A and B are shown apart, each in its own frame.
Chain A
Amino acid sequence: MYQFLYPMEQTNSEFLRGTLKTIVLNLLANRERMYGYEITQAVKERTQGQLLLTFGALYPILHKLEQEGLLMTESVEVDGRTRKYYALTPSGTETAQQKVSEFERFVEMMRSLLQSPTLALTK
C-alpha cells in the first residue's frame, strides 16, 4: 500500500501507523459521531492535505477499536446506501484522553531529545 507514495509520505505513514488510534479517538472526542469518509476528510483538512488516511489503514483501526469496546456504531440509510457512524463509548472517551496526554508527553520528550544536541553546541 505504501510503495507508491513519495518518500516524505512514506515517513509520514510510518509515524502514522503508531498514532492512528490516538488520531481517530481524538477526532471522535471532538465530534458526536463520524463515518469513515468523514474521518479521512477531517484528517486531510486539519493537516491541509499533507496527511492522507487511506481506507485500507482506517477501517481495520475502526473495527479493532469497536471490538475493544471503545467505539459504538450506528448504521443509517443515506441516499440509498448504508452509512456506518462511529461514536465513543464512555471507556472510549477515557482512553482518548489518556492516549492524547500520553502522546503529548511523548512529543515533549521527542522535542527535548531532538533539541538537546543543538543546545549543547550553542553553549
Chain B
Amino acid sequence: METLNPQQVARLHDHLIRTCPNAALIDELLDHLACEVEHYMWIGLPFESAMDKALLEVNAGVVRELRQTYQRELGLRGSRLEKASKDDIVFEFRNKAYGAYALRQAYPQNLRNATIMTLSLCMLLMAVMHMVGHGTFSYFSSWGAVWLTGLAGITFVGFNWHLHQEGTQTLNLH
C-alpha cells in the first residue's frame, strides 16, 4: 500500500480547512480521506485523480448535512451552554482554527490596548508641546506627571502585546 507524503497530506488538510464545519473533526476526516486516496492510488490512479475522487464525497451538501446532524445530536447542553460565550455558540460547529474565532476572542483586549495607546500618545504629545512652548521641563511639574503617565501607558500596552504574541506562538507550536 502506498503512503502519502507530507505535502500530499498537507494539500488534503488545506482543502478540509476550507470546507470542514468542525475543527474537532478535521484530524479524523483527514485520516479518512488520506486512507481513501491511498486506496485509489493503490488500485493505480495518480495522486491528482485519486484526490479528486476522494474529495467528491466532501462537497457542500455533505458538509451541510454533517453540520445539521451535529447540531441535532451533539449540541451544547446544560452546564456547557451556561458557561459558553456568544462566540462559543456562534462558532460551535464552525472551524475555530481558521482565524475569525481567535480575532473575536482577542477583540476586547485589542480594543482596551488601542484605547490606552491612543490616550498615552496624546499625553506624550501634549507634554512635548508644552515643553517646546515654554522651553523648560521638569519631571516634578504637572506636565512631567502627564509625560510619565503617557510613558507608563505605552509600556503597559507594549508589555501586554508582547505577552499576547508569546501566547499565540506557543499555541501555534502545539
Contact = CB atoms under 8 A, between A and B. Distances in A.
Contact of B31 (A60, A67, A83): A83
Contact of B62 (A35, A56, A79): A56
A60 B74 contact: yes
Q: Is the interface of B mostly helix, strand, loop or mixed?
A: helix
B9 interface: yes
Contacts of A60: 66, 69-70, 73-74
Interface residues of A, number: 22
Contacts of B48: none
Given A1-B65, A54-B62, A81-B9, A37 B74 contact: no
Given A1-B61, A54-B62, A79-B3, A59 B28 contact: yes
B4 interface: yes
B88 interface: no
A55 B74 contact: no
A47 B73 CA distance: 28
A118 B57 CA distance: 42
A105 interface: no
Interface stretch (B32-40, B103-111, B132-140, B149-157): B32-40
B3 A64 contact: no
Nearest to A37: B35
Interface of B: 3-4, 6, 9, 25, 27-32, 34-36, 57, 61-62, 65-66, 69-70, 73-74
Interface of A: 1, 3, 35-37, 40, 54-56, 59-60, 63-64, 67, 75, 78-84
Given A1-B61, A56-B62, A67-B74, 10 more contacts: A1-B62, A3-B61, A35-B31, A37-B35, A54-B62, A55-B32, A59-B29, A79-B4, A81-B34, A82-B27
